């Protein structure tokens, strides 16, 4: 079996089947994918292409039917539910489309949650949460409840929570799905800067071409297989781009 | 039709919750029905028993105190208009000596020629009394004793052990079915000899002309009767039983109403949840043009549908349970209860109460659903998740509390009667449950503050979820508090009574040995009598210190049916009774002078005090007896008075002794036993007797505990419902917690913490209200029943109820917790 | 894009000479636009002929001490400019598209996979979009004009990518 050395994520021959008999659905039909540390990978595909399932399996939320996922060298197949939970808690950060925060906790408490559950001392957890909120430029909102924040701010709090544990992998699911385009762009710029400035490995699924184009690499899923994959070269800056002659 | 289909599908979409709600209602209705049917059956059976015995006779002439009288004294009266035939009989309790101890039965002495007018006795085997001066037994009884015509049997009578030849076996029909066939028929003259009546009879049964009105005839007959004689319906013989029954019926009714109320609260809670869960589809219905009244009607329809199913199932279960309870009730009353009687008022009551309470309980949620703005429902993410306690609840609950205090005061002051106890308690509990929302939010906050240093993140989250839904939390904790209040309030009362009963027999049943023909029947408070001369025989045994006689005499005291306990007392000793009021030594002297020691219950009922006179109906007319003092006594539901044997004998002519109370050292026991056996008598040690009473008490108390547990079970169903709802609503959040950080165990503990927090906030107000209820019940006990109890806190009871409630609540959280932990995370995250 | 209106618009901000006008035009006003100085002067002459601009000679202002013509708007010129601003421009569908041509032809030519064409075009478009979005994310201090232009580029590319998805779907 192939194993990429030093990969953050290594997906090998991954298949996932739901249901049986007439309701049997093959959501993933053999996916191979390697993500290097610090890489920002986008997975695109129409709805039903299996992109969300892929994210769930990589995140250990669903067991694979066949094949394996290795996060930082650890095979998910070998972990039981509790070990998976701890892996998610310490090594993976999740950002979902919406309803991403616990409504009864403040921004800072939401961010500190994975640490507190992991047994980190409350004072340290909150210091780290404040630092994470600072990274997403929301330090002044730490005492607010999610209901008092705008959609974009909520998503940024969610991102702060996802990175507060310094995870190996950030899994992002349609991060701008519930946001207007301007706010969405800010969230995407934030994710981009996490990869650029902190070397954060990011795997994002989306159906938005604009979001996907932010990544370093793009995988297109069709009917449960990777139909196309491309690296996106580092670009030019705005001046160069705007001064370029198309004629 | 479409709307009905929609409702049915909504109910079926959540089979678990529908089942739980249904179960809560079913238990409530079943408790109501089973208790109602059992009590009504018992009441009817004791009433009908003597009607059956009297056959066609609708009236009977008896002497006061059930003593004998010369039939000539009624010769003028039986000539009254409307009387077709007058049948003289002797009716006396007796005991047949069987293989396994005495068999209590009623001996009926008849004149075979005259008796046909009243009873139609059919011979199954053997010959009638016209041909042979023997004894007739019902087929069932004869078979159980292994007797056939020609055999001999022994009957314990005041004339001693009578050996009689079985003349015939009777078919089980008409009078022969009395008390499940516990009857023996002998010739009138023979009965007169056996029961020491000479030429007297103790009843003349009157068969009326077909078109005669019993009440008119009774008036006419009574006018022609001498003082000391009375005409009445045969059922009056069981009038003491009415008190006995009422005594246990009232608290049982109260408990059954409580479980119904708990059921109603569960419906309320369920529908509040249901509309919050279905807000989107309900809002869609509104957006599509369903009017508010239509929407409310639809929800009411759903609740009615649920209630109808629950009520029908509950009635079925209740009937089943009643069949089981009937045997226990019969044992308690000392009678064989016939088939269950499908009392229409109980069944109709259940049919009305089940759906009625459901409609009341759904009214608030249905109104809420109609009032919610359409857009807030369609876009719930815009609205704040959670609920709030309606503003009107505060003043309403406050005024209910005031009203409740007034009602409690009314009971304590004695302005309100015992019949109102069940509705008053129901009202009180509803009030307490509705008042819980006033304190729960602050209690939750306080509890969170206290628990903060030791609680986990999960616990913190659990608290906040509860605080987010103050109404639902309050209602659930209201139902839990209901269980706690019931448990502590009723439990304290029950334990108080049990303690008091123990105290009573400690003081009253002091003799070392008791000898009797058979145990008295609770329903009639009559007991087979033994010869009077046995006292000498027992007294002759070496070392016997004393032998005292006791006789239970059903009489009328101050116009109320009561029991006269005629017994011998030792001179120059403090009276061996549970004295409430007065000095035992002085009381003993007064009773020796012929005064009466009256039970506090009877005195209270008649409004009499020590020093007053109580009017007793005697064979020679009404007599005034001075009340020397008040005593506590539980026999015959407290409707009794004690008199010295000699004084009672003078008034009523005591022809036999029901119980011999013998004081003797253990060395005398074998000889005493031998004498008892020779005469076919029951021999009980003091311990035997106490064990017997304990068993009776345990039976009744057991029924109360069972009902209390049922109320707790219903309350726990509410907890399951609420927590399941929390889990469903928190689905996304639980999914998120699972995805982000929490193990299954941590999730389970979080749900468990919610349950424990619910229990904690219910326990505090519940315990306080429960103790208040106990105190109020104690305060009103004397006012309502005349029983004087000492009020005592029962720390063990409080601890038990607290532990039970906490444990049960935690157990109730296991199912939703498991559900939460097993949820597929990916599904939960995308749950709408 | 009319050079005429562009020059009128630039002169609305004050009088300028030809080289200044060219620099402003090529700077931000018409991105990626090229204009030679001859074009500038012919257009100015035409405008002057129509009475929309007028010029005066300024002595020795260029580095070589030669005289220059400095142009300014006449009132008629102002009026013409405002009329143009007030009228909606004709909305062009811009349907002349090379990729469309490739796809249509690929379907007709034996041995060429039209879907392969779509895939390759999409990769190219994504690379472009990546550049644009990256540039946009990084250019925090961009001027409003730059920002608007980057938006235009990004949204056009997204529309184009969406069209390619439709092509793919309809070709299969």
The answer to whether residue B783 sits within a structural domain is no
- Say whether B568 sits in a helix, a strand or coil: coil
Q: Which residues of A touch B465 (CB under 8 A)?
A: 104
Q: Which residues are within 8 A (CB) of C156 and not within 5 positions of it... i.e. 6 or more apart?
A: none
The span from the first CA to the last CA of chain A, in angstroms, equals: 50
- Say whether C87 sits in a helix, a strand or coil: coil
Beta-ladder partners of B232:
B60
- Segment A101-139, tens digit of pLDDT: 887 788 998 899 888 888 888 889 999 999 999 989 999
Alpha carbon separation from B620 to B322, B642, B646 (Å, rounded): 45, 20, 17
In whole angstroms, give the CA distance from residue B396 to residue B343.
37
The answer to whether residue B597 sits within a structural domain is yes
The answer to whether residue B146 sits within a structural domain is yes
**Chain-chain contact of A212 with C126 (C-beta, under 8 angstroms):** yes
What residue ranges do the domains of chain C occupy?
3-86, 98-171
Q: Which residues of B touch A102 (CB under 8 A)?
A: 461, 733, 736-737
- ipTM of the shown complex: 0.81
C122-143 b/e (C-beta count within 10 Å ≥ 16 → b): bbebbbbbbbbbbbbbbbeebe
What residue ranges do the domains of chain A occupy?
9-99+168-233
Which of B384, B745, B826 is opposite residue A62, by nearest beta carbon? Answer: B826
pLDDT value, residue C32:
67
**Chain-chain contact of A85 with B743 (C-beta, under 8 angstroms):** yes
In whole angstroms, give the CA distance from residue B343 to residue B345.
6
In whole angstroms, give the CA distance from residue B630 to residue B22.
50
Are B550 and B654 contacting, i.e. CB atoms less than 8 angstroms apart?
Answer: no
Which of C31, C134, C154 is opposite residue A235, by nearest beta carbon? Answer: C134
Residues B616, B537, single domain; the answer is yes
Are A204 and A42 contacting, i.e. CB atoms less than 8 angstroms apart?
Answer: yes
Which of B461, B742, B826 is opposite residue A61, by nearest beta carbon? Answer: B826
Query: How many structural domains is chain B composed of?
Result: 3
Residue among B532, B562, B564, B563 at smallest CA distance from B548:
B532
Beta-ladder partners of B598:
B630, B641
CA angle B112, B114, B119 (to 5 degrees): 75
* Closest chain A C-alpha to C75 CA, distance in angstroms: 34
**Chain-chain contact of A96 with B736 (C-beta, under 8 angstroms):** yes
pLDDT value, residue B378:
57
Q: What does DSSP assign to residue B657? A: B
Are A31 and A226 contacting, i.e. CB atoms less than 8 angstroms apart?
Answer: yes
pLDDT value, residue B517:
86
Which of A61, A82, A118 is opposite residue B739, by nearest beta carbon? Answer: A61
Residues B575, B642, single domain; the answer is yes
Query: Which token pair is B299?
Result: 């929800």
**Chain-chain contact of A104 with B464 (C-beta, under 8 angstroms):** yes
Which of B385, B742, B825 is opposite residue A117, by nearest beta carbon? Answer: B742
* Closest chain A C-alpha to C68 CA, distance in angstroms: 29
pLDDT value, residue B694:
85
Q: How far is CA B154 from the centre of its chain?
A: 37
Which residue of A187, A196, A235, A245 is the best one to mutate when testing the C interface, meaning the one whose CB has the most C CBs within 10 A? A235
**Chain-chain contact of A81 with B744 (C-beta, under 8 angstroms):** yes
Q: Which residues are within 8 A (CB) of B214 and not within 5 positions of it... i.e. 6 or more apart?
A: B58, B59, B208, B233
Please report the number of interchain residue pairs, chain A to chain B, with beta-carbon separation below 8 angstroms: 67
CA angle B298, B303, B305 (to 5 degrees): 90
Which residue of B382, B461, B740 is the best one to mutate when testing the A interface, meaning the one whose CB has the most A CBs within 10 A? B740
Q: Which residues are within 8 A (CB) of C23 and not within 5 positions of it... i.e. 6 or more apart?
A: none
Residue among A196, A195, A175, A198 at smallest CA distance from A185:
A175
Residue B472: half-sphere exposure toward Cβ, Cα within 13 Å: 30
Residue among B147, B126, B140, B125 at smallest CA distance from B172:
B140
In whole angstroms, give the CA distance from residue A18 to residue A101.
28
Q: What are phi and psi of A5, to 5 degrees?
A: -75, 135
**Chain-chain contact of C123 with A242 (C-beta, under 8 angstroms):** no
**Chain-chain contact of C130 with A233 (C-beta, under 8 angstroms):** yes
Q: What does DSSP assign to residue B340? A: P
Run means of pLDDT, 10 residues per run, chain B, 832 residues: 70 79 84 84 80 87 84 87 90 84 87 88 88 90 88 88 90 83 90 89 90 90 87 82 73 74 76 74 75 81 87 91 81 73 85 84 77 61 59 82 83 69 75 78 84 71 81 81 82 80 81 87 76 89 90 87 89 84 86 91 87 88 90 83 92 88 92 90 89 81 78 78 75 82 86 87 86 78 68 84 87 86 78 52
Query: Which token pair is B181?
Result: 């066939």
- Segment C128-169, tens digit of pLDDT: 999 888 888 777 777 888 888 888 889 999 999 999 999 988
Are A173 and A55 contacting, i.e. CB atoms less than 8 angstroms apart?
Answer: yes
Residue C91: half-sphere exposure toward Cβ, Cα within 13 Å: 1
Are C160 and C128 contacting, i.e. CB atoms less than 8 angstroms apart?
Answer: no
Q: Which residues are within 8 A (CB) of A139 and not within 5 positions of it... i.e. 6 or more apart?
A: A130, A133
Using CB atoms, which chains have 3+ pairs under 8 A with B? A
* Closest chain A C-alpha to C96 CA, distance in angstroms: 14
| Average pLDDT score, chain C | 85
Residues B63, B101, single domain; the answer is yes
Are A54 and A43 contacting, i.e. CB atoms less than 8 angstroms apart?
Answer: yes
Residues B165, B67, single domain; the answer is yes
Sign of CA dihedral B604, B610, B614, B620: positive
Residues B255, B367, single domain; the answer is yes
pLDDT value, residue B785:
67
Which of C126, C136, C142 is opposite residue A232, by nearest beta carbon? Answer: C126
Residue among C25, C22, C48, C27 at smallest CA distance from C37:
C22
Residue among B786, B650, B661 at smallest CA distance from B65:
B650
Residues B656, B559, single domain; the answer is yes
Beta-ladder partners of B7:
none
Q: How far is CA C68 from the centre of its chain?
A: 28
Residues B113, B39, single domain; the answer is no
In whole angstroms, give the CA distance from residue B85 to residue B111.
13
Using CB atoms, which chains have 3+ pairs under 8 A with A? B, C
Considering B662, B680, B698, which residue would you say is the last residue of a domain? B680
Q: Which residues of B touch A105 (CB under 8 A)?
A: 461, 464
Residues B169, B311, single domain; the answer is no
Burial class of residue A207, CB neighbours in 10 A (0-12, 13-18, 19+): middle
Residues B84, B204, single domain; the answer is yes
**Chain-chain contact of C129 with A210 (C-beta, under 8 angstroms):** yes
**Chain-chain contact of A235 with C32 (C-beta, under 8 angstroms):** no
The answer to whether residue B790 sits within a structural domain is no
Alpha carbon separation from B11 to B22, B221, B727, C141 (Å, rounded): 11, 65, 18, 59
pLDDT value, residue B831:
56
* Domain of residue B338, residue span: 1-51+239-383
In whole angstroms, give the CA distance from residue B130 to residue B143.
23
If residue B553 lies in a helix (H) or strand (E), which one and from where to where?
A: strand B546-557
Q: Does A62 contact chain B (CB < 8 Å)?
A: yes
pLDDT value, residue C124:
93
Query: Which token pair is B469?
Result: 């839904």
Q: Does A227 contact chain B (CB < 8 Å)?
A: no
pLDDT band at A13 (very low <50, low <70, confident <90, very high): very high
Are B296 and B369 contacting, i.e. CB atoms less than 8 angstroms apart?
Answer: yes
- Nearest residue in C to A212, CA atom: C130
Are B615 and B622 contacting, i.e. CB atoms less than 8 angstroms apart?
Answer: yes
Q: What are phi and psi of C60, to 5 degrees?
A: 50, 45
In whole angstroms, give the CA distance from residue B19 to residue A82.
33
In whole angstroms, give the CA distance from residue B568 to residue A144.
85
Residues B279, B150, single domain; the answer is no
pLDDT value, residue B90:
92
The answer to whether residue B274 sits within a structural domain is yes
If residue C134 lies in a helix (H) or strand (E), which one and from where to where?
A: helix C114-138
In whole angstroms, give the CA distance from residue B194 to residue B163.
11
* Closest chain A C-alpha to B766 CA, distance in angstroms: 28
Q: Which residues are within 8 A (CB) of B54 and not within 5 positions of it... i.e. 6 or more apart?
A: B60, B118, B175, B205, B234
Which of A210, A245, A246 is opposite residue C154, by nearest beta carbon? Answer: A210
* Closest chain C C-alpha to A40 CA, distance in angstroms: 12
pLDDT value, residue B376:
59
Q: Which residues of A touch B452 (CB under 8 A)?
A: none
In whole angstroms, give the CA distance from residue B52 to residue B39.
19
- Asked whether residue A246 carries a pLDDT value surpassing 70, the answer given is no
pTM: 0.72
pLDDT value, residue A42:
95
| Domain C3-86 fold | Arc Repressor Mutant, subunit A (1.10.10)
* Closest chain C C-alpha to A83 CA, distance in angstroms: 38
Residue B549: half-sphere exposure toward Cβ, Cα within 13 Å: 26
Which residue of C118, C133, C149 is the best one to mutate when testing the A interface, meaning the one whose CB has the most A CBs within 10 A? C133
- Nearest residue in C to A228, CA atom: C119
- Across the beta sheet with C16-17, what order do the strands follow? C16-17, C68-73, C53-58
Chains B and C touching, counted as 3 or more CB pairs less than 8 Å apart: no
**In the block, residue with structure tokens 């994210």:** A55
| Average pLDDT score, chain A | 87
- Say whether B626 sits in a helix, a strand or coil: strand
Are C96 and C30 contacting, i.e. CB atoms less than 8 angstroms apart?
Answer: no
Q: How far is CA B650 from the centre of its chain?
A: 37
The span from the first CA to the last CA of chain B, in angstroms, equals: 28
What CATH code is assigned to A9-99+168-233? 3.40.50.300
Which of A189, A241, A245 is opposite residue C131, by nearest beta carbon? Answer: A241
Residues B247, B147, single domain; the answer is no
Q: Which residues of B touch A161 (CB under 8 A)?
A: 740
Q: DSSP letter string over B437-491?
A: HHHHHHHHHHHHHHHGGG--HHHHHHHHHHHH-HHHHHHHHHHHHHHHHHHHHHH
Which of C136, C146, C158 is opposite residue A209, by nearest beta carbon? Answer: C158
pLDDT value, residue B422:
67
Which of A59, A82, A98 is opposite residue B739, by nearest beta carbon? Answer: A59
Residues B226, B84, single domain; the answer is yes
In whole angstroms, give the CA distance from residue A49 to residue A28.
8
Q: Which residues of A touch B746 (CB under 8 A)?
A: 117
Query: Which token pair is B184?
Result: 């023996």
Q: Based on C-alpha coordinates, what's the Rg of chain A?
A: 18
Residue among A118, A207, A199 at smallest CA distance from A161:
A118
pLDDT band at A244 (very low <50, low <70, confident <90, very high): low
- Nearest residue in A to B730, CA atom: A102
Query: Which token pair is A201?
Result: 């490995």
CATH number at residue B619: 2.40.70
Considering B232, B255, B285, which residue would you say is the last residue of a domain? B232
Length of chain A: 247
In whole angstroms, give the CA distance from residue A230 to residue A43.
11
Q: What does DSSP assign to residue A101? A: S
Q: Which residues of A touch B739 (CB under 8 A)?
A: 59, 61, 88, 94, 96
Mean pLDDT for A217-243 is 83
Mean pLDDT for A146-161 is 90
């Amino acid at each position: 079996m192939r194993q990429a050395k030093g990969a953050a994520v290594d997906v090998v021959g991954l298949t996932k089947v739901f249901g049986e008999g007439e309701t049997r659905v093959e959501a993933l039909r053999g996916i191979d994918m390697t993500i290097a540390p610090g890489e920002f990978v986008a997975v695109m595909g129409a709805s039903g292409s299996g992109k969300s399932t892929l994210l769930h399996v990589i995140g250990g939320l669903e067991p694979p039917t066949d094949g394996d996922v290795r996060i930082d060298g650890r095979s998910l197949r070998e972990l039981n539910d509790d070990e998976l939970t701890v892996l998610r808690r310490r090594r993976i950060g999740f950002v979902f489309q919406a309803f991403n925060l616990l409504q009864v906790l403040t921004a800072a408490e939401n961010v500190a949650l994975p640490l507190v559950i992991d047994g980190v001392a409350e004072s340290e957890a909150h210091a780290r949460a404040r630092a994470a909120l600072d990274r997403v430029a929301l330090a002044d909102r730490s005492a607010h409840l999610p209901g008092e924040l705008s959609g974009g701010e909520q998503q940024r709090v969610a991102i702060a929570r996802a990175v507060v544990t310094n995870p190996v992998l950030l899994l992002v699911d349609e991060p701008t799905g519930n946001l207007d385009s301007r706010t969405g762009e800010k969230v995407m710029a934030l994710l981009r800067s996490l990869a650029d400035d902190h070397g954060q490995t990011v795997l994002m699924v989306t159906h938005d071409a604009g979001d996907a184009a932010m990544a370093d690499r793009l995988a297109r899923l069709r009917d449960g297989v990777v139909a196309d994959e491309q690296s996106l070269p580092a670009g030019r800056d705005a001046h160069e781009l705007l001064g370029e002659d198309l004629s | 039709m479409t709307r009905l289909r929609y409702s049915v599908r909504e109910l079926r979409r959540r089979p678990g919750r529908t089942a739980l709600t249904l179960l809560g209602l079913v238990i409530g209705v079943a408790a109501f029905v089973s208790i109602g049917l059992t009590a009504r059956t018992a009441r009817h059976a004791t009433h009908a028993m003597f009607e059956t015995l009297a056959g066609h006779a609708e009236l009977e002439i008896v002497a006061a105190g059930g003593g004998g009288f010369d039939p000539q004294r009624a010769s003028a009266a039986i000539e009254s208009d409307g009387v077709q035939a007058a049948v003289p009989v002797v009716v006396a309790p007796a005991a047949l000596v069987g293989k396994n101890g005495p068999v209590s039965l009623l001996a009926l002495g008849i004149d075979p020629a005259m008796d046909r007018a009243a009873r139609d006795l059919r011979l199954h085997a053997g010959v009638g009394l016209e041909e042979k001066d023997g004894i007739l037994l019902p087929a069932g009884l004869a078979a159980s004793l292994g007797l056939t015509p020609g055999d001999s049997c022994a009957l314990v009578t005041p004339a001693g052990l009578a050996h009689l030849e079985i003349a015939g076996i009777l078919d089980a029909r008409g009078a022969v079915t009395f008390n499940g066939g516990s009857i023996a028929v002998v010739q009138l003259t023979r009965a007169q000899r056996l029961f020491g009546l000479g030429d007297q009879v103790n009843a003349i049964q009157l068969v009326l002309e077909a078109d005669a009105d019993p009440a008119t005839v009774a008036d006419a007959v009574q006018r022609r009767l001498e003082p000391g004689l009375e005409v009445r319906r045969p059922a009056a013989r069981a009038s003491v039983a009415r008190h006995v029954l009422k005594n246990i019926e009232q608290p049982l009714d109260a408990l059954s109403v409580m479980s119904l109320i708990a059921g109603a609260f569960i419906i309320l809670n369920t529908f509040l949840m249901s509309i919050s869960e279905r807000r989107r589809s309900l809002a869609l219905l509104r957006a599509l043009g369903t009017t508010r009244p239509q929407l409310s009607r639809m929800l009411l329809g759903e609740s009615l549908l649920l209630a109808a199913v629950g009520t029908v199932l509950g009635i079925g279960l209740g009937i089943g349970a009643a069949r089981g309870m009937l045997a226990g009730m019969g044992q308690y009353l000392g009678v064989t209860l016939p088939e269950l009687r499908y009392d229409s008022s109980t069944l109709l009551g259940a049919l009305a109460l089940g759906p009625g309470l459901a409609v009341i309980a759904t009214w608030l949620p249905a109104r809420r659903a109609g009032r919610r703005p359409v857009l807030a429902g369609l876009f719930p993410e815009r609205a704040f998740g959670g609920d709030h306690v309606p503003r009107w609840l505060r003043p309403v609950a406050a005024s209910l509390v005031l009203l409740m205090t007034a009602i409690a005061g009314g009971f304590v002051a004695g302005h309100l009667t015992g019949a109102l106890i069940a509705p008053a308690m129901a009202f009180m509990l509803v009030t307490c449950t509705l008042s819980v929302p006033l304190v729960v939010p602050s209690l939750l906050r306080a509890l969170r503050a206290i628990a903060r240093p030791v609680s986990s993140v999960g616990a913190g989250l659990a608290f906040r979820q509860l605080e987010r839904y103050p109404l639902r939390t309050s209602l659930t904790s209201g139902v839990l508090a209901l269980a706690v209040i019931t448990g502590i309030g009723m439990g304290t009362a029950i334990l108080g009574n049990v303690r008091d009963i123990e105290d009573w027999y400690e003081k009253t049943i002091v003799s070392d040995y008791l000898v009797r023909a058979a145990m008295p029947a609770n329903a009639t408070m009559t007991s087979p009598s033994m010869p009077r001369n046995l006292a000498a025989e027992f007294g002759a045994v070496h070392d016997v210190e004393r032998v005292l006689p006791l006789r239970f005499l059903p009489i009328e005291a101050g116009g109320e049916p009561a029991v006269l306990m005629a017994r011998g007392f030792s001179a120059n000793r403090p009276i061996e009774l549970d004295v409430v009021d007065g000095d035992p030594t002085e009381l003993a002297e007064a009773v020796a002078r012929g005064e009466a020691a009256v039970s506090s219950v009877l005195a209270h009922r008649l409004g009499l005090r020590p020093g007053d006179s109580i009017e007793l109906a005697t064979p020679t007319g009404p007599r005034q007896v001075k009340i020397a003092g008040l005593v506590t006594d539980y026999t015959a539901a407290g409707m009794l008075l004690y008199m010295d044997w000699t004084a009672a004998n003078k008034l009523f002519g005591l022809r036999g002794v029901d119980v011999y109370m013998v004081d003797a050292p253990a060395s005398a026991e074998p000889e005493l036993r031998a004498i008892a056996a020779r005469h076919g008598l029951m021999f009980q040690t003091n311990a035997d007797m106490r064990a017997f009473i304990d068993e009776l008490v345990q039976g009744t108390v057991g029924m109360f505990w069972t009902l209390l547990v049922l109320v707790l079970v219903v309350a726990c169903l509410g907890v399951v419902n609420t927590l399941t709802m929390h889990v469903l609503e928190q689905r996304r959040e639980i999914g998120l917690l699972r995805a982000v950080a929490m193990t299954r165990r941590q999730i389970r503990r979080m749900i468990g913490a919610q349950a424990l927090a619910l229990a904690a906030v219910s326990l505090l107000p519940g315990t306080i209200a429960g103790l208040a209820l106990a105190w109020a019940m104690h305060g009103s006990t004397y006012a309502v029943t005349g029983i004087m109890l000492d009020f005592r806190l029962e720390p063990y009871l409080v601890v038990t109820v607290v532990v039970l409630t906490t444990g049960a609540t935690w157990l109730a959280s296991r199912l939703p917790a498991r559900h939460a932990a097993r949820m597929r995370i990916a599904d939960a995250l995308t749950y709408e | 894009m009319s050079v005429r209106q562009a020059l009128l618009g630039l002169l609305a901000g004050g009088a300028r000479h030809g080289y200044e006008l060219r620099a402003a035009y090529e700077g931000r006003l018409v991105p990626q636009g090229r204009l030679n100085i001859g074009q500038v002067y012919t257009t100015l002459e035409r405008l002057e002929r129509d009475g929309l601009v007028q010029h005066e000679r300024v002595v020795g202002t260029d580095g070589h001490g030669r005289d220059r013509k400095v142009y300014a708007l006449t009132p008629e010129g102002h009026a013409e400019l405002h009329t143009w601003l007030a009228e909606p421009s004709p909305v062009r569908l811009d349907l002349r598209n090379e990729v469309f041509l490739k796809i249509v032809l690929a379907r007709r030519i034996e041995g060429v996979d039209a879907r392969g064409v779509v895939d390759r075009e999409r990769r190219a478009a994504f690379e472009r979009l990546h550049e644009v979005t990256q540039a946009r994310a990084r250019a925090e201090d961009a001027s409003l004009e730059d920002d608007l232009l980057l938006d235009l580029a990004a949204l056009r590319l997204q529309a184009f990518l969406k069209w390619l998805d439709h092509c793919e779907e309809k070709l299969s």
